[in-house]
Chain A
């Protein structure tokens, strides 16, 4: 059985038969005529699955399965948006999902990284930050920084710092933050977030874990 988290930029496909997780670009997935899943979540999943699960519900179930605590805050930072679940004494305390304005920041980082040929694994966190109102406004600031003599890697690190500040504020400034999504693998993002709070990366398969819970229902 295939479970899938079809995000805006990346699709995570879990095969329950052989316990494997495959990650492909969503642009590749949407062009695949045979891509159909038993249970799925995400922007591109609705017409490609037998059972659709709302993204926030999947995040809540997945985080509950992975975090051994009755009170915690988890954010999923994706290409297009940021999702938040806060659990207080085992119950849902706060949920949120930033959309449209203030979003599309993850995808912008990938775009700028490719544009400037940046290796994220070698990028250092910056103490400086730029105001990332949204992906487009943030991109304009990076382009301005580079056009006035700044290094692209420093410009992007400042963009990431701006995004980190947004995420931390969005999450209600917790002391400890569980992180879900592709940014778990971005050392600059995690290192910058550690300036503000303790960060525990959960990886890219938290929503898939949430789908496993649906399978067990």
Chain B
């Protein structure tokens, strides 16, 4: 979440439809900065949610409460591209008095953008950040933005709450799952979300207490990959587990 000054901002979470994001800007101000409420930026714990809530949803609520009066509105992804907890978070925010615009990303708005960052070479955290930036700024970065490469490993999942887990992956790691769907502009495409390259050693990551744990666990079994879930911060064991998988596979 990057906030450059003290003016009003529009918060969003998940991958709202670009059409709804555009409408929010028209309604609340074309110049207002769009900030991703999913991201951990050190907002104080609001204490409003159960402790066994997925950390990303907790970030949404904590960030919204932290920003409070500065939030002109929240554009909430409440469709298949997010989760029921996202839908409930939108409900809670509205009950708290926030302006909430709900978004469902319909199939007829699916795009077919080039997977430049997902299939490129480079530090995994940087490429995932670049993909998430395309939610707000879908300008085509061009094939030259990142060198494409043959993958040695795969990362499947959502952007984690704690990016340190991404730092142990080699630069030749390709990106799959929901993050890949975001780059393609197809956030609720389950078929694409479940795709991984056959035989590629892949880590299937999900936040603890997220419904995607079921999918990650199933896909890891089906593809002989490594299932990893993590609540809040990564610890030594989680990093060691991923390191060992990368070394041994």
Contacts and interface: CB of A to CB of B under 8 A. Distances in A.
A97 B241 contact: yes
B240 interface: yes
B226 A95 contact: yes
Interface string B216-249: 0000000010110111000111101101110111
B248 A92 contact: yes
Interface stretch (A21-29, A49-57, A158-166): A49-57
A198 B214 CA distance: 30
Nearest to B247: A57
Interface in A55-89: 55-57, 60, 80-81
A46 interface: yes
A94 interface: yes
Task: Please give me the 6 A-B residue pairs with the lowest Cβ-Cβ distance, nearest first.
Answer: A56-B244, A97-B241, A92-B248, A99-B237, A54-B240, A54-B244
A100 interface: yes
A97 B197 CA distance: 23
Given A95-B226, A99-B235, A60 B248 contact: yes
A46 B244 CA distance: 16
A93 interface: yes
A46 B235 CA distance: 13
A93 B226 CA distance: 11
A100 B229 CA distance: 9
12 contacts: A54-B243, A55-B240, A56-B244, A56-B248, A57-B248, A80-B237, A92-B249, A97-B244, A100-B229, A100-B230, A100-B231, A101-B229
Nearest to A59: B244
B208 interface: yes
Interface residues of B, number: 19
B72 to A, nearest CB: 38
A100 B52 CA distance: 12
A192 to B, nearest CB: 25
A56 to B, nearest CB: 4
A100 B230 CA distance: 8
B224 A93 contact: yes
B240 A94 contact: no
A43 interface: yes
Contacts of A81: 237
A95 B237 contact: no
A56 B240 contact: yes
A93 B248 CA distance: 9
Contact of B244 (A93, A95, A100): A95
B249 A99 contact: no
B212 to A, nearest CB: 15
A96 interface: yes
Interface string A90-108: 0011111101110000000
A94 B224 CA distance: 7
Given A54-B247, A56-B244, 8 more contacts: A43-B236, A55-B240, A92-B248, A95-B226, A95-B245, A97-B237, A97-B240, A97-B244
Contacts of B236: 43, 46
Nearest to A8: B237
Nearest to B245: A95
A40 B174 CA distance: 33
Interface in B178-236: 208, 224, 226-227, 229-231, 235-236
A94 B231 CA distance: 23
Contacts of B243: 54
A96 B248 contact: no
Contacts of B240: 54-56, 97
A43 B208 CA distance: 21
A96 B226 contact: yes
